[in-house]
């Protein structure tokens, strides 16, 4: 799986975790230099508190284009240490 924004590969992995049809990429497979933390807040009833990220390639910008659950609830522990991207950016 790949996450690509405006021809820039943000993440690539064969080890994504799929939750609710979203692919969560291991943080080690994500180019974190393109992500900056957002102030957006959201709490999922079963995953926990989300951390959102803006995507900035230097030429292009997407607000809240990625998110993670840094300390997910027990039901979502498989996505700890993973980043998810807007579905429009993910291809196989």
Q: How many domains does the chain have?
A: 1
Q: Which pTM does this prediction carry?
A: 0.95
User: Nearest 10 degrees: CA dihedral of 63, 1, 80, 76?
Assistant: 100
* pLDDT tens digit sequence for 33-82: 999 999 999 999 999 999 999 999 999 999 999 999 999 999 999 999 99
Dist CA 69 CA 65 (whole Å): 14
> What is the CA 50 to chain-centroid distance, rounded?
10
CATH of the domain at 34: 2.170.150.40
Q: Residue 65 is encoded by which pair of tokens?
A: 């284009």
State which residues form the domain around 43.
2-91
Q: How far apart are CA 41 and CA 38, in angstroms?
A: 8
């Amino acid at each position: 799986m790949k996450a690509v924004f405006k021809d820039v590969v943000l993440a690539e992995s064969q080890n994504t975790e799929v939750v609710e049809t979203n692919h969560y990429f291991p943080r080690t497979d994500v180019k974190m230099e393109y992500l900056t933390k957002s102030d957006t807040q959201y709490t999922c009833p079963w995953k926990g508190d989300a951390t959102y990220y803006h995507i900035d390639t230097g030429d292009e910008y997407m607000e809240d284009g990625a998110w993670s659950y840094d300390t997910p609830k027990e039901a979502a522990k498989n996505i700890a240490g993973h980043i998810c991207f807007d579905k429009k950016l993910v291809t196989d």
